[in-house]
Structure 1
């Protein structure tokens, strides 16, 4: 039974804590947050014995074997380095940082300490997307030729969130960059991005975009297309299609039910599940269970530090491409590998 510390008790930190308390593999021993005024009743309801406003208390606790870093992105790299030095295994929400160079420092600390690091790209654990990946890698559709990923939020985030998010490519599309590498098992060698402000003028005021299409070229010669929008009026739109020399595989949105009503007025079905907490509910559970199984040695980390690094590199290249108005080539020589 692993003893776990949660650093950062916002929405995602609380979600992970609740899921951990339901597993048979781990328990949350301590939660830290800069604001603990309203945490006591929540922690008590989950039988979490310690609440503190200093995350160092978790790192210095010899009973804690792993920490979940759910604090703001700007703190991730520092906490990863300190947690590694303290000998803790680490689960860190994405992205590791807003800077590739800063992320590399964190990954170096993980390597030197010989601890495990999993990055929170939860979509790898989604039942639909994993089926696509397994089908492609199993050779069922032959040589992969085209990958298309659609990701659209039901509502745009607040201006305050956008200002701290790192931008659409680093905050939103970074999931899709990771999914592209996961499905194709090939590095991206060129990125070409187009973007616009078509939804919320406040996002433009934050020097960001709300609509984007990115063209990827993989090392294996395949082509990828990623489309993002900050607003789809019908709900959370999450789809993937992979096309190859022997066929294709595609996934549709998860819905509250699969019922289809057909009448003289038309054909109707439920809208997609509204947001990520519903759509990826099981994926969040699966990713933490697989993290603990990896610590036990059952299999390697499914989404390691290098995966986080590569997604960040693609996000940075997309932003560079948007600004420059041209494709950006990526060199994968001498890339830091992480445990």
Structure 2
């Protein structure tokens, strides 16, 4: 098959390399808002990878499916254009910068039979998959508590933060999605706080660099979610699922960027993950393989626009809770 890729920045260039290596992808066409960057990526990968001048040209390049890793404000338009052209779509989160834009996309996609896969790569990670299996099988008994966290080793650029949508929508949204996916439950209420002790550009963008939230699920399970842009020890993503019969943890391996204060304890001794791309390398490969199965008509979307909207609602509720210093029911932000 021939795949088009819109956007070859950091994650887009990573996806280009991954797609080129997949068995079912015979050729790849890349485009970017910066044509020179697209040409550079194509030249680096060589062979079956070519570049076109603009993302719009992808639609006349004879592609069978479109992967989107462009800037957030371009996602919705590219998704809708691909759906109108009958092309299966993979798009990095978010679907759109806000709830209204996401709902508009959802409405159009619902009127079509074209599949759309939104990129929440943790659903393809072996640890998160095992945790979901443990919950769904009943091995943990009834789940009473989840503890989730996303800790970046260093903040992104000021330019990125200014257009990111805020900490909950950009970062913690991955935790919100995976909590829904692992438990099979919905979040009904949140209480969230945030702080700024780092760079001034977070405050200038009306954002935060550290957060914590308490989520109540529809069966009264409690989920505690924390995050920060400042975890210099390394990239740390974990999920603990605590049940009445047993408990499991995701991310508790020898590369965990956390040191024990207990005397004589040397674990973990491995080199910490430096970034999300290395931590989730295998998951990204599995995710894009699933997309090629979608293009081939062998599978349904593993993460739909509706799924992405639900995680976005939780993020929206958390942001409102932080600003208004009160618990917020997810129903308050639902439209």
Q: TM exceeds 0.5?
A: yes
Using the TM superposition, give the Cα deviation of residue 280 of structure 1 relative to its aligned residue in structure 2, in angstroms: 0.5
* SS of residue paired to 1:326: coil
**1:16 matched to 2:6:** no
What is the match of residue 203 of structure 1? 202
Using the TM superposition, give the Cα deviation of residue 304 of structure 1 relative to its aligned residue in structure 2, in angstroms: 1.3
Taking a change above 3 Å as real, the CA distance of residues 35 and 167 of structure 1, as seen in their structure-2 partners, is: same
* SS of residue paired to 2:292: helix
Taking a change above 3 Å as real, the CA distance of residues 60 and 109 of structure 1, as seen in their structure-2 partners, is: farther
What is the match of residue 237 of structure 1? 236
Using the TM superposition, give the Cα deviation of residue 323 of structure 1 relative to its aligned residue in structure 2, in angstroms: 0.8
What is the match of residue 286 of structure 1? 286
C-alpha distance in 1, partners of 2:189/2:167?
19
* SS of residue paired to 1:267: coil
What is the match of residue 25 of structure 2? 26
Using the TM superposition, give the Cα deviation of residue 333 of structure 1 relative to its aligned residue in structure 2, in angstroms: 12
Aligned length: 328
Preserved CA contact (<8 Å) 1:18 1:46: no
What is the match of residue 99 of structure 1? 98
C-alpha distance in 2, partners of 1:41/1:158?
22
Using the TM superposition, give the Cα deviation of residue 254 of structure 1 relative to its aligned residue in structure 2, in angstroms: 4.4
* SS of residue paired to 2:163: helix
C-alpha distance in 2, partners of 1:31/1:318?
36
Using the TM superposition, give the Cα deviation of residue 256 of structure 1 relative to its aligned residue in structure 2, in angstroms: 5.3
Q: Which runs of 5+ in 1 are unaligned?
A: none
What is the match of residue 310 of structure 1? 310
C-alpha distance in 1, partners of 2:184/2:332?
14
Using the TM superposition, give the Cα deviation of residue 315 of structure 1 relative to its aligned residue in structure 2, in angstroms: 1.0
What is the match of residue 54 of structure 2? 54
C-alpha distance in 2, partners of 1:251/1:182?
14
Question: Which TM-score applies when normalising by structure 2?
Answer: 0.92
Using the TM superposition, give the Cα deviation of residue 253 of structure 1 relative to its aligned residue in structure 2, in angstroms: 4.1
Q: Which runs of 5+ in 2 are unaligned?
A: none
C-alpha distance in 2, partners of 1:38/1:120?
23
Using the TM superposition, give the Cα deviation of residue 4 of structure 1 relative to its aligned residue in structure 2, in angstroms: 0.5
C-alpha distance in 1, partners of 2:5/2:209?
32
Provide Cα deviations, 1:114-168, integer angstroms capped at 9, x if missing partner. Answer: 1111111111111111111111111110111111102101111221211111110
Using the TM superposition, give the Cα deviation of residue 332 of structure 1 relative to its aligned residue in structure 2, in angstroms: 9.8
Provide Cα deviations, 1:276-325, integer angstroms capped at 9, x if missing partner. Answer: 11100101100011122234444432211111111111111111111111
C-alpha distance in 2, partners of 1:38/1:198?
35
Provide Cα deviations, 1:72-130, integer angstroms capped at 9, x if missing partner. Answer: 10111111111100111000011111211111111222222311111111111111111
Structural RMSD (CA): 2.2
What is the match of residue 140 of structure 1? 139
What is the match of residue 251 of structure 1? 250
Preserved CA contact (<8 Å) 1:6 1:28: no
* SS of residue paired to 2:194: strand
Preserved CA contact (<8 Å) 2:38 2:52: no
Structural mapping, 1:1-339, within 5 Å: 2-44=1-43, 45-61=45-61, 63-255=62-254, 267=266, 269-331=269-331
Of 15-24 and 38-47, the range deviating more from structure 2: 38-47
C-alpha distance in 1, partners of 2:207/2:321?
14
C-alpha distance in 2, partners of 1:41/1:72?
18
